[in-house]
């Protein structure tokens, strides 16, 4: 069984903000595949689907970014999903807008959602699909991550969401982290 979680903040106020890149990428995948998050439990919105013979849970924690780990750990524990079968999609300020990078483990890079997941799972051994939102030049980090993309940036993000769809499909097919890194980094 696989768990694919997009990170973001719940509520209309945050819908199109940079920090909701994980939600946006997962929503893109779900929309393209005529799926929706039809369950509200485990502090998140989720659905369980059978894809290519694999049980897959898609999850958007509704705990706010800094507590994302609570929801992910509840789902992982309930369904007995190993950390290496988890893919977390999130924004990354250390990469240019729209750039994609796959990581199999590692540190949080200062991302509070990832810190929360590491604390709640008790490991850093889960996969990440990081999508760049770049670091703000002049404004505060909080203002930057809680602001929407402009039209030019949104085009780059839309292209990233198309690539992320392929990453998700390959992950579901059982491609390992090394394959994903070689293919998409």
Residue of 19, 28, 90, 111 marked catalytic = 19
pLDDT, tens only, 115-126: 999 999 999 999
Q: Quote the pLDDT of residue 137.
A: 84
Query: Per the confidence metrics, is the pTM higher than 0.85?
Result: yes
The DSSP line for 105-159 is S---TT-HHHHHHHHHHT-S-SEEEEEE----SSS-HHHHHTSB--HHHHHHHHH
Q: Quote the pLDDT of residue 109.
A: 87
Q: Is the dihedral of CA 46, 7, 87, 84 positive or negative?
A: negative
Which stretches in the chain have pLDDT values below 70? none
**Structure-token pair, residue 25:** 């990428």
Domains of the chain, start order: 1-182 (3.40.50.1470)
20 labeled binding residue: no
Q: Quote the pLDDT of residue 130.
A: 97
Q: Quote the pLDDT of residue 106.
A: 86
Q: Quote the pLDDT of residue 90.
A: 97
Q: Is 111 a catalytic residue?
A: no
């Amino acid at each position: 069984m696989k768990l694919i979680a997009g990170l973001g903040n719940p509520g209309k106020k945050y819908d199109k903000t940079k920090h909701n890149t994980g939600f946006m990428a997962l929503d893109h995948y779900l929309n393209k595949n005529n799926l929706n998050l039809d369950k509200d439990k485990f502090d998140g919105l989720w659905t369980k689907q059978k894809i290519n013979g694999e049980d897959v849970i898609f999850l958007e924690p509704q705990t706010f970014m800094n507590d994302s780990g609570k929801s992910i750990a509840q789902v992982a524990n309930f369904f007995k999903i190993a950390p290496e079968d988890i893919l977390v999609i999130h924004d990354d300020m250390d990469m240019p807008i729209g750039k994609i990078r796959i990581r199999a483990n590692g540190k949080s890079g200062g991302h509070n959602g990832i810190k929360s997941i590491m604390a709640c799972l008790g490991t850093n051994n889960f996969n990440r699909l990081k999508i760049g939102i770049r670091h703000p030049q002049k404004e505060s980090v909080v203002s930057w991550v809680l602001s929407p993309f402009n039209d030019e940036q949104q085009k780059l993000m839309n292209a990233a969401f198309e690539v992320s769809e392929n990453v998700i499909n390959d992950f579901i097919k059982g491609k390992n982290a090394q394959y994903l890194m070689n293919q998409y980094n």
